[in-house]
Amino acid sequence: AEEALRQAQKMEAIGQLTGGVAHDFNNLLTVILGGLDTIRRQVSTLPGSPTTERIERSIRMASHGAERAATLTARLLAFARRQPLEPKPIDAGRLVTNLADLLQRTLGETIALETVTGGGLWRAQADPGELENALVNLAVNARDAMPGGGRLTIETGNAHLDESYVAQVAEPVAAGQYVLIAVSDTGTGMCAATLAQVFEPFFTTKDVGKGTGLGLSQVYGFVRQSGGHIRIYSEVGEGTSVKIYLPRLLNEGLVPESETAAAAAVTH
Ligand code: ADP
């Protein structure tokens, strides 16, 4: 599981890098192809001569090369593009319970995993696979922050973000009902300077080969794309708590009255 995790993180890093380079390169190729096209049209108005022919042949070759390069970057982009999110109704409590074994194996024997999932939990609307990835990422970070052992607590609950809370949050968050997944460790914690940078891609305080600095930026991207909110509380020497708020699935179980009546009529 350890090696698979490392491999997945490596692929993620390669994917992000490849995608970024391919995207920028593609923009440059568009400029080159556009320029060549303009030159070709200008040259075609010139009187025919051996020189004109040589220029036209050069333009054809350059265009051909640039077009092949564009095909190549298109393939690279297809490789690097991450699967689009597939939001579904999620029972976060059950998802955490089902993931507990894998998380415990990630944490190792010296870290105790505690899951606190009460009843009456609203359902969230998000991609369950990505939420699992996020929790594994958070567990890896917690493990690294607790080299001498400790405790990881994952708690789920219903949460209301009110107007006064969302007003003091940096990024736009809608006030309303959310499903909270709080992941708290008893590790080293972070100083304010580190905490301010944790969502930056490639920001890491870990040794080369140990951290990619993509874990939390990935988690952040998933939460934001899901219409949710993430906040990290950390105290040096005390521990870290990552709070993920995913939007509540609205209108669940609210069956229109006429349908209820119809269903009742069928049953009886
Ligand atoms: P990586 O784990 O590869 O370094 P992340 O984006 O997941 O990348 O984390 C960035 C940095 O945030 C880490 O290098 C570490 O300094 C800090 N960090 C993340 N989670 C925790 C945690 N639970 N406790 C202490 N520090 C953390």
pLDDT single digits (tens) 127-186: 998 899 899 889 999 999 999 999 999 999 999 999 999 999 988 899 999 999 999 999
Give the β-pairing of 239-247 and 111-117: unpaired
Q: Is the CB of 239 under 6 A from ligand 1?
A: no
Question: Which atom belonging to ligand 1 lies closest to the Cα atom of 217?
Answer: 6
Is the ipTM beyond the 0.95 threshold? Answer: yes
Query: Taking the alpha carbons of 4, 230, 224, 119 in that order, is the dihedral positive or negative?
Result: positive
**Binding site membership of 221 for ligand 1 (Cβ less than 6 Å):** no
Would you state the pLDDT for residue 23? 74
Using the atom order of ligand 1, give the atom closest to the CA of residue 215. 7
Q: 114, 86, 89, 82: which is closest to 100 by C-alpha?
A: 114
Atom of ligand 1 lying closest to residue 205 CA? 14
- Extract the residue ranges of the chain whose pLDDT is less than 50: 254-268
Query: What residue's CA is closest to ligand 1, atom 27?
Result: 141
Distance CA 179, CA 131 (A): 12
Q: Radius of gyration of the chain from Cα atoms?
A: 26
| 141 CA to centre of ligand 1 in angstroms | 5
Which residue among 198, 223, 236 has the greatest number of ligand 1 atoms within 8 angstroms of its CB, and so is best to mutate?
198
Output the CA 117–ligand 1 centroid distance in Å: 25
Minimal-distance CA residue to ligand 1 atom 21 = 141
Alpha-carbon dihedral 93, 2, 211, 193, rounded to 10 degrees? 30
Q: 194: Cβ below 6 Å to ligand 1?
A: yes
Strands (E), the chain: 88-90, 111-117, 124-126, 150-161, 176-185, 229-235, 239-247
- In ligand 1, the atom with minimum distance to the C-alpha of 239 is 24
102-111 burial string, b = 16+ CB within 10 Å, else e?
A: ebbebbeeeb
pLDDT of residue 209: 64
